[in-house]
Structure 1
């Protein structure tokens, strides 16, 4: 799916249908131990070349999920409190 998506973007660039492309996509793969790893690839045009930068964002995703869970727990506690909280 990633390859198909990127090929379509590159084709638009090469045919002149798009003069600039800056794309950021996130995807995940299983590593050799069977654990999911999250990646983010950003593609840019530099002169007449394509530049792709890929980062492992697994830890960032875990932190975002933990923060979201914490916020949900706090909101639930706040709503269920019989006392007025200021």
Structure 2
């Protein structure tokens, strides 16, 4: 599997050094990158590597020196992380887009965890209700914002939401000033 990942057959891989499988500019830095501590205690880090055809791709290396019959031997596991890096890039882009939409929404909005604790509020929420993010983050939405007369109705709606997923409903909330 390792030979295939690098574009070699098993026979061609024999005798290749780490320096043969990384970009030239990185190969020059290799002795400094792998410290004595890493060499003896092992390390697990992302790096870049080079295929037989010269293609550069991201890898994750886990390595450790162990003694086999009294001789030190380097055990190395290498994983191609190209797909993971692409997924991370897409996720980062999606998060950035969500953050932009969330913060620029003309509607007061918040998001919360499974327990109903607020993770964030948008600027329109602060403008409408008077609460700052510092005052709301970590609290539950029903802590002080639901009128006592509406607690039973709200409880039923939230129970329905828990069983059915997303629910759309109108509600009356209290502002920070009590109105």
Relative to the length of structure 2, the TM-score reads 0.36
Partner Cα separation in structure 1 for residue 98 and residue 46 of structure 2: 29
TM-aligned CA distance change 1:49 to 1:30, over 3 Å: closer
Deviation, 1:46, is: 3.3
Q: Which residue of structure 2 aligns with residue 81 of structure 1?
A: 105
Superposition pairs of residues 7-86 of structure 1, within 5 angstroms = 9=35, 12=36, 20-29=40-49, 31=51, 32=53, 36-47=56-67, 48-86=72-110
Which structure has more RCO (C-alpha within 8 Å, separation ≥ 6)?
1
Change (3 A) 1:49 1:25: same
- Cα distance in 2 for residues equivalent to 1:55 and 1:46: 20
Listed one character per residue, the Cα deviations across residues 5-25 of structure 1 (whole Å, up to 9, x for unaligned) are 23xx3xx36xxxx8x512122
Select the structure that is richer in strand: 1
Over the aligned positions, Cα root-mean-square deviation in angstroms equals 2.7
Structure 1 unmatched ranges of 5 or more: none
Aligned residue pair count = 77
SS of aligned partner of 2:41: coil
DSSP-derived class of the 2:83 partner? helix
SS of the residue 1:26 aligns to: strand
Residue of structure 1 in register with 2:17 after alignment: none
- Could you list the runs of 5+ residues in structure 2 that have no partner in the other structure? 1-25, 111-179
